Structure 1
Amino acid sequence: MLRIRDLLGRPSLGLEAVAGTGDLDAEVRWAHVTELPEPEAYVRQGELVLTNGLWLPQAEPAAFVRSLVTAGAIGLVFGLRTARTEIPPALVAACRTARFPLLRLPVEVPFVAVTHFVATAQADRRQRQLLDALRRSDALTNAMSAGRGALGVLAALSGPEGVPVALVDGWGAVVRQVRWELPAADARRVAERASSDGAATARTRDRSTSSIKLSDGTEATVFPIREQGAGGPDHAVLYGRRPDRIQQAEWDALEQAARLLTVELAHERALSALEMRFAGEVLDMILGGPRRAEELAPRLRSFGIDPEGPLAVLSLLTGPLEHATATPTTVTRFFLARGLPSVVPSGDRDLVAIVGLRKNDDEDDEDDDEDDVRALAEALAEALAEDLAAALERPPRVRQGERPAKGQRPAKGERPAKGERPAIGIGRIAHGHQELRRGLLQAREAAKTAWRRQHGSRVVSFTDAGSYRLALDLLDAGTRQDFAEAVLGPVLAYDRAHGSELLRSLSAFLDSGLAWGAAAASLHVHVNTLRKRLARLQQLTGRELGRTEDVVDLFLAVQALGEYPNGKGIGGVPVES
């Protein structure tokens, strides 16, 4: 950028500034010679005007200066002549009043020296801008063609100047960043600003509305990226310069980077969808047992996991939040940041993380390994809790110009309360993929125990929460159904035939801890009514509520019934427990 001050620094021009007349840091876009008494119509924005004062007999200096200011000129050069060796005092006074820069040009220096210098400087500047634009464009294109992804695009955008750059998604999470360590609170503000600015802001370069001041005082530019057809939230590039300090070549590079990032994000979504499909099949392979063991080992290797090494198994429950933060991508990134390969498939009710651990040759240190996995799970729970708290402060995202879809906002009671924490269950470390099924069942039962906790840690290891459910889960579905029917089949048939509530009464009795009064109160019946119902149930099942082994059979059978679709037991009889 050529400034008035730069002209003063050229000895060959001999220019001198008249003190007190204005800002010498204004940008000079061109130099224009005029002797018209009213030059306003012929002067353009940002021009430096040169004159010998031949207009002085026809116009007052104050009126002449006002005309230049109105036209947008940035300064006046008064060329001295042999007939006029000093600038008229009235012109000096007018420039001082208007705070309009006034420069004195010696008699021996022609105007053409000034105009030639300005023209040459502007040509050089335009050439540098063109080369800069080509360099930036080549760097961005090379980053994509070399397969460096979004991070490569951001590095190219940062350029040799080292401008900090970050890519933030619509939920306020930093996707990639170069020369920046953006705090989470700032990232969320960037997402909010990008959402409010809208697509038109970036495309029309409304620079005043795309600026943001970060928590450390840094002033930067938010450049929204609108993805066509994307199912998730949009993204934004945070560029570490104020909008008014960004050169044209940089704006062009930002535009190009936005287009490239849109392509790269679509590519990453496609890969993520493919990985999620492959990851989902991992669960089927694990639960399939020995018959699918040969498929499981190579599938784990495709995710960078050694199938013969130590494997941690975690089950994550985060509750029914529509935009739940515990997504496979966020969990995978957590482990990746710690140098651990993982695969995170989605189950029907949970996320499962299979994590490859570093081998430990000392078998006596297995307890230490279990402690390390627990510490890892605690850190994951804390990270997810922070994300969840941030999600609760955000309304559901809606694209600009669209109406919220029906049912987009979670219904009352579906959003978790503030302070809600994810629950994580930990299975025993599996030494090889053959042991993953056991570890998965253990982790899921531990997660259920963690979810029921109202206080304390919601990270639970199976060794802390051994459960009868594991015994049921180790049996196949057909065996569980046969067992439930053998024990409670007569009761279900009796309830259907008589419209009675023997099974419901048994469930209430078991839930109350075998307390007659509490069970009767929960059913809103007299204790004697409950005793008569359960006496009939004992006759039908041949089991006595006074014998421990019989109570265990009845309890397990009721739990097995609760697994059937739509909450129905054998024969379609509802189970309430």
Structure 2
Amino acid sequence: MRTTMKEVLNLPVFSGARLVAGEQGVNRDVSNVYFMEVPDIYDYIDRQGILLSTLFPIADNPDLIEELIPKLVNKEMAGLAVKPARYLDDIPEILIHEAQKHEFPLIALPVDANLSELSNGILELLLDKNTTALKFRNTLHEQMMAQLAEGAGLGELIETLAGMMNRPAVLLNHRLEVLGRAQYEQTEVIKPDDFAVFFEKTCLSPQQLAKVMLKVDGESFGIDAFHYQPIHVGEECLGYLLLERQGAEETEDLRVALEQTALLMASVFQREKAVERQEQNYLDSFIRDVLNEQLSSQDEVIQKAKVFKWDLAFPMIVMNIDFFIDDPRQKREWIQAFIESGTVEQQVNRYLQTGTNSIKLIYMDDSMYVFLNVPFERRAEQRLKAMSSDLLNTIFHQCRTGIGISSTAETIERLPEAYREARQTVKITKKIEQRSFASFFKDLGVFELFDHVADQTVLAEFKERKIGAVLAYDEKKEMELFQTLEAYIACNLNSRQTAKELFVHYNTLRNRLVKLRELGVELDSGFDIMEVALACRIHMLRS
């Protein structure tokens, strides 16, 4: 249990002592006591100790007296108590000056002080404090261990902590989401918009947490209104334990309670995470069986899904969400973080309003897949587009991400095909789009056909015949003829509209069209246009 210089000075054996300098340091911690018997004492002392001395070993050396307190400060000592008169008439002024400068407690002892009695008094105080702390630690530990033996979770532990400390407590996970509270009716964490903690591995410092507000029962407070204890295993942050401050000083019981509770909560966190991951593995296996058509009865699938708290229903769509990250380990960690957080389900439900139990995420084939019920309504596609855009701009904004959305699976028999559609959509669109994207399978059009061509050299040769000369000319002259050709076809061969789309003068466009004809591009018939358009699509897919 913590002991300070102020408590030492209040001991009966120090009744005749005077604090002559360094009063600002009276809250320094004390954990030991030393005697100065040799001039070079510094190798024999340690931090948080009180040095008792007559200064006899250095009384005749002003230089050693001057450097004494700075060296004690460097050793992180707690204070210096000097008994003058026998070897010094009074405490040297330089000692008082240095003690005041470093806010280091300097105590003048009475001439009849017995250094051994002073030492014994300090050691008895430390022993009593440590015995009290040990008893409190054991009581708290035994009570919480008894709860854990009965299967208690995080909620019961935080209730016990709040009860023993007689003050409100809050438990947050590593994403600063409220997991539990005691003696508060309502709690909410308020974070700045740019405050990203989703992928943090280590616990945040108090300085970082200073940006966060906690709203409790209608009032907002900074984190500094709470005693703060991170919960972690090694370098991995699991959460944060907060106890409301109710006084200026932090008691040793409070510190012990926070540390002990955090230690036990870490084991509960790990236990619950292990259970969640096992349940996720069972869910993954269940969905794999459905996609591999090992469970063909729709009624059977719907009933088994209830085991995973999944209100599975049809029609359904499948979304493939893929992070384009080179490091496979980091990618897996990202996917796992999103699956465990429930963030995607909340965002999807916000737009589709089907309930989070109608949405399931799994990790499969090095990607994340979302299975969700969709209602029969005209606005479903519009909501899916808005939802996907929001996902890309908010929680998926940290890396290039692709979202592929299948067509609707009306029955269980169509679900494996919907899964393949979602995966195919990402695979193909990734080759065309350089940024993050959200694409529907139905919009792939001719690109899907290209991907099914077994001999891709056939496509390359067709492209070379139709627009190879244009691409070669662009590479040599940087004329942007391919871009012009694409825009011309997209504008239905309307020259004026094309010039407007490209932000070029009409005559500039006419000159480019003439050059395209010189390079062998024929757009005289519908079939010509179709073939050139196909060649352009092939180039986009293969470039």
Corresponding position: 1:422 with 2:402 = yes
Q: Residue 277 of structure 1 corresponds to which residue in structure 2?
A: 285
Query: 1:243-285 CA distances to partner (integer Å, 9 max, x unpaired)?
Result: xx99677667666666665555555444433332223223224
Matched, 1:334 2:343: yes
Following the alignment from structure 1 to structure 2, what is the Cα–Cα distance between the partners of residues 21 and 368? Answer: 72
Deviation of the 1:425 alpha carbon: 1.2
Where do 1:446-465 residues align within 5 Å? Answer: 446-447=425-426, 450-454=429-433, 458-462=437-441, 464=443
Separation (CA, whole Å) in 2 of partners of 1:508 and 1:222: 58
CA-to-aligned-CA distance 1:27-60 (integer Å, 9 cap, x gap) = 233567x797879599775444567x6x879955
Q: Is the 8 A contact 1:167 1:176 kept in 2?
A: yes
Alpha-carbon separation, structure 1, partners of 2:456 and 2:5: 91
For residues 448-527 of structure 1, the aligned pairs below 5 Å read 450-454=429-433, 458-462=437-441, 464=443, 512=463, 517-518=466-467
Contact kept in structure 1, 2:361 and 2:370, CA below 8 Å? yes
Q: Percent identity?
A: 14
Report SS of the residue matched to 1:386: coil
Equivalent-residue separation in structure 1 for 2:150 and 2:373 (angstroms): 29
Task: Establish whether residue 25 from structure 1 lines up as the match of residue 8 from structure 2.
Answer: no
Q: CA deviation at 1:292?
A: 3.1
Structure 1 unaligned blocks of 5 or more: 195-209, 227-233, 390-419, 471-479, 485-491, 493-502, 523-545, 556-575
- The match for 1:133 is 137
The match for 1:380 among 383, 388, 391 is 391
Correspondence 1:30-429 to 2 at 5 A: 30=32, 40=41, 46-48=48-50, 59-60=59-60, 74-77=78-81, 90-99=90-99, 101-104=105-108, 118-119=122-123, 121-134=125-138, 137-138=141-142, 141=145, 145=149, 187=197, 191=201, 214=208, 216=210, 225=233, 235-236=236-237, 265-285=273-293, 291-308=296-313, 311-319=316-324, 321=326, 322=328, 323-324=330-331, 327=335, 330-331=338-339, 333-338=342-347, 340-341=356-357, 342-345=359-362, 348=365, 351-356=368-373, 366-382=377-393, 385-387=396-398, 389=399, 420-428=400-408
Distance of aligned partners of 1:49 and 1:508 in 2 relative to their CA distance in 1, 3 Å threshold: closer
Number of aligned residue pairs: 423
Shift in Å at residue 127 of structure 1? 3.4
**Alpha-carbon separation, structure 1, partners of 2:304 and 2:290:** 7
Give the conservation status (yes or no) of the 8 Å contact 1:37–1:64. Answer: no
Change (3 A) 1:283 1:25: same
* Separation in 1, partners of 2:397, 2:110: 69
1:202 corresponds in structure 2 to none
> What is the RMSD of the two structures over their aligned residues, measured on CA atoms?
6.2
Distance 1:114 1:180, change over 3 A: farther
Structure 1 contact 140–257 (Cα < 8 Å) conserved: no
Residue-by-residue CA offset, 1:439-490 (whole Å, 9 max, x unaligned): 55664565556445427872234565567969xxxxxxxxx9xxx9xxxxxx
Could you say if the C-alpha distance between residues 147 and 312 of structure 1 is closer, same or farther in structure 2, counting changes exceeding 3 Å?
Answer: farther
DSSP-derived class of the 1:307 partner? coil
CA apart distance, 1:223: 8.3
* Counterpart secondary structure, 1:305: coil
Aligned CA distance change for structure 1 residues 104 and 257 (closer, same or farther; 3 Å): same
Q: Decide whether aligned partners of structure 1 residues 507 and 64 sit closer, same or farther in structure 2, where only a CA change above 3 A counts.
A: closer
| Cα drift, residue 340 of structure 1 | 1.0
> Structure 2: any 5+ residue segments left out of the alignment?
181-187, 212-222, 243-251, 348-354, 472-524, 535-541
Partners of 1:107 and 1:113 lie apart in 2 by 14
Q: Taking structure 1 as reference, are residues 251 and 347 closer, same or farther at Cα in structure 2, changes over 3 Å only?
A: closer
User: Normalising by the residue count of structure 2, what TM-score does the alignment of the two structures yield?
Assistant: 0.54
Q: In the TM superposition, what whole-angstrom CA distance separates every residue of 1:294-313 from its partner, at most 9, and x where no partner exists?
A: 43112322222223466443
1:425 and 1:445 in contact (8 A); partners too: no
1:307/1:374 Cα in 2 relative to 1: closer, same or farther (>3 Å)? same
Structure 1 pair 382–150 and aligned structure 2 pair: CA distance change class (3 A): farther
* TM-score between the two structures when normalised by the length of structure 1: 0.52
2:4 is matched by which residue type in structure 1?
R
347 and 118 in structure 1: CA distance in 2 versus 1, 3 angstrom threshold: closer
Contact 1:133 1:253 in 2 (8 A): no
Deviates more, 1:90-99 or 1:454-463: 454-463
8 Å Cα contact 1:377-1:424 kept in structure 2: no
| Deviations 1:417-440 (CA, angstroms, capped at 9, x unpaired) | xxx331321433x67757646755
Distance 1:504 1:116 in 2: 90
Distance 2:135 2:145 in 1: 15
- Check conservation: 2:231, 2:241, Cα contact below 8 A: no
User: By percentage of residues, which structure has more strand?
Assistant: 2
